[in-house]
Amino acid sequence: MYAVFGGERPDRVPTGELGVDAPITEAILGHSTYYRAKYREKAALWDGKRDAVVESQKRDLVDLAQALEWDFVPVFLTYRAGDFAQPMAWIDESTWQDAYGRIWKHSSVTDDVLCVRVPPLDDAAIDVLQQPFVADESELELVRHVVSTLGESHFLIGRTAIELRDSGPVMGRGSVDGTFPDTYGGLMMDMVDFCIRVKRDREFLKRLLAAATDRAIEVALTLVEAGVDAIVLSTDYCHQTGPWISPRDFEELVFPLLKKEVDAIHTAGALAIKHTDGHTWPILDLLVRSGIDGLHGIQPSAGMDLARLREMVGPRLVLFGAIEGQVLIEKSADEIRWQVQSQIAQAGDCGGFVLTSSNSIQAGVPPASYLTMLDALRDYGYYVS
């Protein structure tokens, strides 16, 4: 990984994942896990099993990285010791309201926990975000374990703790990206409300995003101080056909904050990777200009062709991708192997490429398909010296 980020061509294409959902982890390790177990993990916390959840995260993330021979490993803040907040009110058997007025729903299909209603934010939200962030030592338990166990052998990437997305009134407790709304771990703001306020309440948004970014920088630097090598800023700026806001609005509202956080991460001695799904062509130049070291979340089905992307950004920017979940779910082993070979040829010839999924290995992906992807990497991912 250091060779890839250093502009050198390594002996082989590296790999890893920002997350592997519990069903796939359990199939690979052969036992139950709370790591990315979603609702089951949340229910265990409500039952007072915080220590068991964190021990499972520590054990199973390390074991998974070693079993799959990953080169990079994600780490994140975990749950604080003590009581975990219970739902304030159950609306029905799968829907509840938290202490901050947000409505959450459990999907029986994916076992995920989704925020379906967020109260509008006001100046009180900015006041909350401006309170100093200080991590409790128990929140660093997972990070310290992974650093002590894998820090010498693996590249460690700090990410937003999506596990902690409901652990704060305005923003997920462990978010490392406050530059844009993200109800899946970051700034808890309804996207429709955000897009309306871009035109009607711009000055408030500037203050809100500035405060959220400053908070995210504090979390990111906490992870860097604990020993991670890079931070991945994980808020999606784009959807399937383009950015959520116009490139002009993005340049005014978001770009200065993205650059500020990237600069802060670099000053602290770490690398900055930007994750965003979707069709990013209209803002790609701004992403590159921010100084990011890597781009994650590349989505070919949204028009993000790897060969064209490599041609436009050159060898300096490290590309992470780009085997999409639908490929792993729907395609045959031979087709998955062809995708791996093709993407290495498109983006990895000069180095600067890390083979990953386009997002994470999510529930629904057959474990055998993910293992086929990794086997193909070992067959096609070595560079000829």
Residue range 88-142, pLDDT digits in tens = 899 999 999 999 999 999 998 889 999 999 999 999 999 999 999 999 999 999 9
Q: How far apart are CA 304 and CA 312, in angstroms?
A: 12
Q: Of 73-77, 164-168, 346-350, which one has max mean pLDDT?
A: 73-77
> What stretch of H or E contains 52?
helix 50-67
Residue 349 has pLDDT above 90, yes or no: no
Among the listed residues 6, 13, 19, the one whose alpha carbon sits nearest the alpha carbon of residue 358: 19
How would residue 261 be classed by pLDDT, with cut points 50, 70 and 90? very high
Cβ(176)–Cβ(92) under 8 Å? Answer: no
Please name the residues in contact with 36: beta carbons below 8 A apart, sequence gap of 6 or more: 19, 20, 21, 22, 25
**Are 331 and 313 spatial neighbours (Cβ–Cβ below 8 Å)?**
no
Measured CA to CA, the distance from residue 181 to residue 362 in angstroms comes to 22
pTM to 2 decimals? Answer: 0.97
| Token pair recorded at residue 379 | 């067959």
Question: How high is the pLDDT of residue 385?
Answer: 61
pLDDT grade for 384, boundaries at 50, 70 and 90: confident
| Closest-CA residue to 261 (of 248, 272, 245) | 272
For the residues 240-252, what does the mean pLDDT come to?
A: 97
User: What confidence tier does 315 reach under pLDDT thresholds 50, 70, 90?
Assistant: confident
pLDDT at 85: 78
Q: What share of the chain in percent tops pLDDT 70?
A: 99
Average pLDDT over residues 354-365: 95
310 falls in which pLDDT band (50, 70, 90)?
very high
Do 278 and 240 touch, CB atoms closer than 8 A?
A: yes
What is the DSSP code string of 106-152? E-TTT--EEEEE-PPP-HHHHHHHTSPP---GGGGHHHHHHHHHHTT
Q: What are the tens digits of pLDDT across the range 199-217?
A: 999 999 999 999 999 999 9
3-state secondary structure 290-336: CCCCEEECCCHHHCCCHHHHHHHHCCCCEEEEEECHHHHHHCCHHHH
11-61 residue pLDDT tens? 999 999 999 999 999 999 999 999 999 999 999 999 999 999 999 999 999
In the block, residue with structure tokens 């498109």: 346
Judge whether residue 84 has pLDDT over 80. Answer: no
The confidence score (pLDDT) of residue 110 equals: 87
Least confident of 81-85, 161-165, 356-360: 81-85
Check residue 64 and give its pLDDT: 98
pLDDT of residue 316: 86
CB 37 within 8 A of CB 346: no
Which residue would you say has higher pLDDT here, 109 or 330? 330
Say if domain 2-380 classifies as CATH 3.40.50.970.
Answer: no
Q: Which of 211, 227, 213 is nearest to 261 (CA)?
A: 213
Q: How far apart are CA 37 and CA 25, in angstroms?
A: 10
